[in-house]
Structure 1
Amino acid sequence: MNSTSYTISYVNHKIILLTIALSALIISGLTACQKTPTNTSTSGLATIVCDASFENIMNQEIDVFEYTTKGKANIIPYYASEKACVDSLLDLKTKTIVISRDLTQKEKDYLESQKKHPRSNMIAVDAIALIVNNDNPIEILSISEIRDILTGKITKWSDIEPTKLGDIQVVFDDEGSSTVKYMRDSIMKGEPFGQNVFAQQSSREVFDQVQMRKGAIGIIGVSWISADMRTRDMSRDERIKSLQEQDTTVADFDPAVKVLKVRRDDQLRAYKPYQAYIYDGTYPLFRSMYMITTGVNGSLSHGFYSFVTGTIGQKIIQRTGILPARVQPRMVYLE
């Protein structure tokens, strides 16, 4: 991957950790100035550091949670690489993180040695979607074709099927994201990225690049391209009320881009990343999503953790198009 993007990612990592540390000091100072404790499970200030791939999901969780506390709680999110998330937790700069894996035993032991008792919960299974421009005639890619595109063995769309599109440009969200790590570890088997792979600064930029460039293919979390038409134009009050409904079906994907079907090399049928196909494992590109906290019972950090892992928090996750850990999917539209 482009070396410039690596440098930018490293600098951003340091800036994010410094910013989180500064915020922690400010929050501590504000708490110390209070005559009576105000940090409860539904009030006060708390930070969370979340893998940038999950920004769209966590913003919605925070929005609804703060609303339910009537403005008494303020969750301050930071979106960073997975490494920055874990470092901020181990350095005691935040009490809550969201990443694509559980803590290792070594990381848990270190926190215990600091008298911090981490709790972790798998809150969702996220799919990684492959998106292309709507003018791209390609509909399906196999796992081996994806691997060859990422490693630079396939560099032109015509190497897959007849087309005049030309060169393939692969676009990721960020050099240090869990999306990059997943594709490197699970699909590429440790091989290096080709010269046709580029990192942006956000998932939104990946989406925009694919819209603008006919030869681009974006690697992106499925929540960024899910289109829940029923809630898109709702007010916050209406959105909160809709979460009380039993129907939590996600209809389809954003029509501004094309979502490719993916098939395993030993199978003929290909699938799009719908929740039902994530649930039964037929869609092959998926990863877990973990929420980890060292917040004690009664703290705002623990209160938010309980909210996200609870019924309403899980319904919010389902509305984003990924698979919640505790709500079974029900589909009304499938190809």
Structure 2
Amino acid sequence: MMRQLVFILLLSGLACNRQKSAVETDTPTSGSIVVAVDESLTPLLQAEQEAFHALYEKAHIEMRFVSEAKAIELLLNDSVRMAVVTRKLTKEEEEVIKSRKISPRHITVAKEGVAIIAHKSNPDSTLTWMQLRDLIALGKYEDMKTQSPRVVFDEAQSGVVRYIKDSLLQGKPFAKNSFAAGNSKALVDYVAGTKNTFGLIGSSWISDTDDSTTVRFLKKIQVVSISKDEDAYQPYQAYIAQKVYPLARSVIVISQEPRSGLGTGFVSFMSGDLGQRIVLKAGMVPAKMPLRVVSVKRGNITN
């Protein structure tokens, strides 16, 4: 009887150790993890992912590109340890994670803009703040007298839609003739092929002029300038950094990793010098400006 009990205890201990090993198999530079990402941030996160994988060959980060609402839902349901979105958790959402004895962390890694794009035939490349609000909320644009313009966005629950509702529409709904294209690429294709249309898209899709996808997009559409006061600005790096482009938002990593695992390593990478240079290369504004070391030789200055 005693031998049977010892055998059972040994099996139980072995099973526990196996379960523990199965759970804690990743380190900051190795293992596997799933990250939920707002689809509007795809270009930046793909670039960060590729660089991280090239640096750490034993690491595998799977990006799940979904709407912002879905990314947060996956985080709250404990389906992922980390989400990359454009807002912080609400107090109620934080309490859900704290109920698991984990304190969520918010890490801002970049700033980008929400871009307004239009069909190439659009008569005006500049909109005032009031015109933009009427366009999105009422479906009206004074330069289109013969046909009502349509506004296209990526997904109904995306970070872009949520941001526009909060910052521009103050909680009011979009015009009835607005609709979701399904994703950012489909949005650009629709605007490029349909007259009298405007699109709302994350600026990372159009800001990296060295990227082939960006170059292809910019050949098909025009980027609209927005004026809130006298001057009009486009959603590019310098104007976002100077805080003069009115539709700017933060890129935030939300982590509920209880220990120093692969998620922690990836966040550290994105926040570090190389990760922030990737942000800069993508045409976005880094949360921490990368340092540029200049070597100066001492010597006499001669005319």
Match of 1:313 among 269, 272, 275: 275
Q: Displacement, 1:296?
A: 3.9
Checking the alignment, whether the CA contact within 8 Å between 1:157 and 1:167 is kept in structure 2 is no
Q: Displacement, 1:185?
A: 1.7
Q: Unaligned 5+ residue runs, structure 1?
A: 1-30, 234-249, 331-335
2:178 and 2:22 map into 1 onto residues whose CA distance is 54
2:74 counterpart of 1:88: yes
Q: Displacement, 1:104?
A: 2.4
Checking the alignment, whether the CA contact within 8 Å between 1:276 and 1:329 is kept in structure 2 is no
Tell me the number of residue pairs that the alignment of Structure 1 and Structure 2 aligns.
Answer: 274
Match of 1:101 among 87, 96, 101: 87
2:103 aligned counterpart, secondary structure: coil
Q: Displacement, 1:195?
A: 2.1
- Taking a change above 3 Å as real, the CA distance of residues 271 and 110 of structure 1, as seen in their structure-2 partners, is same
**Match of residue 179 from structure 1:** 160
2:212 and 2:172 map into 1 onto residues whose CA distance is 40
Checking the alignment, whether the CA contact within 8 Å between 1:275 and 1:322 is kept in structure 2 is yes
2:144 aligned counterpart, secondary structure: helix
**Match of residue 139 from structure 1:** 125
1:213 and 1:157 map into 2 onto residues whose CA distance is 16
The one-letter code sitting in structure 2 at the alignment partner of 1:318 is L
Q: Displacement, 1:260?
A: 0.8
Q: Which has the larger radius of gyration?
A: 2
Q: Displacement, 1:36?
A: 11
Alignment of 1:1-335 (within 5 A): 32=19, 38-70=25-57, 72-152=58-138, 154=140, 157-159=143-145, 166-229=147-210, 232=212, 254-264=218-228, 267-327=229-289
1:273 and 1:102 map into 2 onto residues whose CA distance is 22
Deviations 1:170-220 (A, max 9, x none): 110000101111111211122222122111110111111111112211110
Q: Displacement, 1:156?
A: 6.1
Checking the alignment, whether the CA contact within 8 Å between 2:127 and 2:227 is kept in structure 1 is yes
- Taking a change above 3 Å as real, the CA distance of residues 281 and 268 of structure 1, as seen in their structure-2 partners, is same
2:160 and 2:291 map into 1 onto residues whose CA distance is 23
Checking the alignment, whether the CA contact within 8 Å between 1:141 and 1:262 is kept in structure 2 is yes
Checking the alignment, whether the CA contact within 8 Å between 1:121 and 1:292 is kept in structure 2 is yes
1:87 and 1:212 map into 2 onto residues whose CA distance is 34
TM-score norm. by structure 1 comes to: 0.75
Q: Displacement, 1:37?
A: 6.2
Q: Displacement, 1:301?
A: 1.2
Deviations 1:220-266 (A, max 9, x none): 0111112332x659xxxxxxxxxxxxxxxx99x833321111000xx
Q: Displacement, 1:32?
A: 4.9
TM-score norm. by structure 2 comes to: 0.82
Instruction: Give the root-mean-square deviation of aligned CA atoms.
Output: 2.6
- Taking a change above 3 Å as real, the CA distance of residues 130 and 141 of structure 1, as seen in their structure-2 partners, is same
Deviations 1:246-304 (A, max 9, x none): xxxx99x833321111000xx22111112111112111011111101122443111111
The one-letter code sitting in structure 1 at the alignment partner of 2:262 is L
1:92 and 1:189 map into 2 onto residues whose CA distance is 31
- Taking a change above 3 Å as real, the CA distance of residues 35 and 115 of structure 1, as seen in their structure-2 partners, is closer
1:34 and 1:110 map into 2 onto residues whose CA distance is 26
Checking the alignment, whether the CA contact within 8 Å between 1:155 and 1:196 is kept in structure 2 is no
Moved more, 302-311 or 34-43: 34-43
Checking the alignment, whether the CA contact within 8 Å between 2:139 and 2:148 is kept in structure 1 is no
1:226 and 1:305 map into 2 onto residues whose CA distance is 23
2:205 and 2:23 map into 1 onto residues whose CA distance is 41
2:42 aligned counterpart, secondary structure: helix
Q: Displacement, 1:113?
A: 2.2
Q: Percent sequence identity over matched residues?
A: 32
1:281 aligned counterpart, secondary structure: coil
Q: Displacement, 1:35?
A: 8.5
Q: Unaligned 5+ residue runs, structure 2?
A: 1-17, 293-303
- Taking a change above 3 Å as real, the CA distance of residues 153 and 325 of structure 1, as seen in their structure-2 partners, is same
1:105 and 1:293 map into 2 onto residues whose CA distance is 15
